[in-house]
Structure 1
Amino acid sequence: MTAAGAPVPGPTGLPLLGSIFDLRRDALGTYLDARREHGDVVRFAAGPPGLRMTMYGVFSAEGAQQVLATDAANFRKDNVFYQEVRESFGNGLLTSQDADYLRQRRLVQPLFTRRRVDGYADAVTGETSALLARWRSAPDATVDVVDEMTGLALRAVARILFGTDVETAIPVVERCFPVIGSYTLRRGLAPVSPPRTWPTPANRRNASAMDDLYAVCDQIIEERRAQGDAAKGDDLLTLLAQAQSAQDGSLDAAEIRDQVLIFLLAGHETTATSLAFALHLLARHPEEQSRARDEAVRILAGRTPEAYDLEALPYLTRVLKEAMRLFPAAPAIGRRAVEATGIGGHTIPAGADVVVAPWVTHRHPRYWEEPERFDPDRFLPEAEKARPRYAWFPFGGGPRACIGQHFSMLESVLALAMILREYELEAVDLEVPVTAAITLRSTGPARCALRPVGAV
Structure 2
Amino acid sequence: MTTAAGKTATGQTAPGPAGLPFLGSMLDLKRDSLGTYLNGQREHGDVVRFTAGPPGLRFQLYGVFSAEGAQQVLATQSANFRKDNAFYQEVRESFGNGLLTSQDEDYLRQRRLMQPLFTRRRVDGYAGAVTDETTALLARWRGAPDATVDLVDEMTRLALRAVARILFGVDVEEAVDVVERCFPVIGTYTLRRGYSPVNPPRSWPTPGNRRAAAAMEELYAVCDRIIRQRRADGTSAKGDDLLSLLAQAGSTEDGSLDASEIRDQVLIFLLAGHETTATSLAFALHLLARHPEHQARARAEAQHVLAGRTPEAYDMDALPYLTQVLKEAMRLYPAAPVIGRRAVAATEIGGYEIPAGADVIVAPWVTHRHPHYWEEPERFDPERFAPGAEKARHRYAWFPFGGGPRACIGQHFSMLESVLALSMVLQEYELRAVDPEVPVDTGITLRAVGSARCRLDRLGRQA
TM-score by length of 1: 0.99
- Equivalent position of 2:30 in the other structure: 24
Matched ranges for 1:367-386 at <5 A? 367-386=373-392
Would the aligned equivalents of 1:4 and 1:341 in 2 still touch at CA under 8 Å? no
Is 2:366 the partner of 1:360? yes
Is 2:163 the partner of 1:165? no
- After superposition, the C-alpha distances for 1:277-302 in whole angstroms (9 at most, x for unaligned) are 00000000000000000000000011
Is 2:121 the partner of 1:115? yes
- 1: CA distance between counterparts of 2:289 and 2:143? 21
Amino acid across the alignment from 2:410: G
1:73 to 62, 79, 86: 79
Matched ranges for 1:292-441 at <5 A? 292-441=298-447
The alignment yields a C-alpha RMSD, in angstroms, of: 0.8
Q: CA deviation at 1:454?
A: 4.8
1:284 to 290, 294, 305: 290
- Equivalent position of 1:266 in the other structure: 272
Q: How many residues align?
A: 455
Would the aligned equivalents of 1:327 and 1:359 in 2 still touch at CA under 8 Å? yes
- Equivalent position of 2:212 in the other structure: 206
- 1: CA distance between counterparts of 2:401 and 2:255? 29
- 2: CA distance between counterparts of 1:277 and 1:169? 26
Q: CA deviation at 1:112?
A: 0.1
- After superposition, the C-alpha distances for 1:160-203 in whole angstroms (9 at most, x for unaligned) are 00001111111101000000000000000001110000000000
- 1: CA distance between counterparts of 2:309 and 2:288? 23
Q: CA deviation at 1:53?
A: 1.5
- After superposition, the C-alpha distances for 1:10-41 in whole angstroms (9 at most, x for unaligned) are 00101111000000000000000000000000
- 1: CA distance between counterparts of 2:173 and 2:349? 49
Q: Which runs of 4+ in 1 moved over 3 A?
A: none
- Equivalent position of 2:193 in the other structure: 187
Would the aligned equivalents of 1:56 and 1:355 in 2 still touch at CA under 8 Å? yes
Amino acid across the alignment from 2:235: D
- Equivalent position of 1:234 in the other structure: 240
- 1: CA distance between counterparts of 2:431 and 2:374? 27
- Equivalent position of 1:444 in the other structure: 450
- 1: CA distance between counterparts of 2:448 and 2:308? 33
- 2: CA distance between counterparts of 1:139 and 1:263? 33
Amino acid across the alignment from 1:81: F
Amino acid across the alignment from 1:138: A
Amino acid across the alignment from 2:403: G
Would the aligned equivalents of 1:144 and 1:447 in 2 still touch at CA under 8 Å? yes
Is 2:115 the partner of 1:103? no
- 2: CA distance between counterparts of 1:449 and 1:72? 45
Is 2:217 the partner of 1:217? no
- 1: CA distance between counterparts of 2:10 and 2:118? 41
Q: 1:299 is paired with a residue of what secondary structure?
A: helix
- Unaligned ranges ≥5, structure 2: none
Q: 1:259 is paired with a residue of what secondary structure?
A: helix
1:253 to 246, 250, 259: 259
- After superposition, the C-alpha distances for 1:45-66 in whole angstroms (9 at most, x for unaligned) are 1101111111000000000000
Q: CA deviation at 1:73?
A: 0.3
Q: CA deviation at 1:123?
A: 0.2
Q: 1:96 is paired with a residue of what secondary structure?
A: coil
- After superposition, the C-alpha distances for 1:353-399 in whole angstroms (9 at most, x for unaligned) are 00000000000000000000000000011101111000000000000
Q: 1:63 is paired with a residue of what secondary structure?
A: helix
Would the aligned equivalents of 1:161 and 1:260 in 2 still touch at CA under 8 Å? yes
Aligned residues: percent identity?
80
- Equivalent position of 2:137 in the other structure: 131
TM-score by length of 2: 0.98
Amino acid across the alignment from 1:109: Q
Would the aligned equivalents of 1:69 and 1:397 in 2 still touch at CA under 8 Å? yes
Q: CA deviation at 1:138?
A: 2.4
- After superposition, the C-alpha distances for 1:238-296 in whole angstroms (9 at most, x for unaligned) are 00000010000000000000000000000000000000000000000000000000000
Amino acid across the alignment from 2:207: P
Q: 2:57 is paired with a residue of what secondary structure?
A: coil
- 1: CA distance between counterparts of 2:421 and 2:308? 14
- 2: CA distance between counterparts of 1:4 and 1:339? 14
Q: CA deviation at 1:7?
A: 1.0
- 1: CA distance between counterparts of 2:176 and 2:435? 29
- After superposition, the C-alpha distances for 1:296-331 in whole angstroms (9 at most, x for unaligned) are 000001111000000000000000000000000000
Q: 2:62 is paired with a residue of what secondary structure?
A: strand
2:184 to 162, 169, 178: 178
Q: 1:137 is paired with a residue of what secondary structure?
A: coil
Q: 1:140 is paired with a residue of what secondary structure?
A: helix
- 2: CA distance between counterparts of 1:138 and 1:285? 23
Q: 1:335 is paired with a residue of what secondary structure?
A: strand
Q: CA deviation at 1:137?
A: 2.2
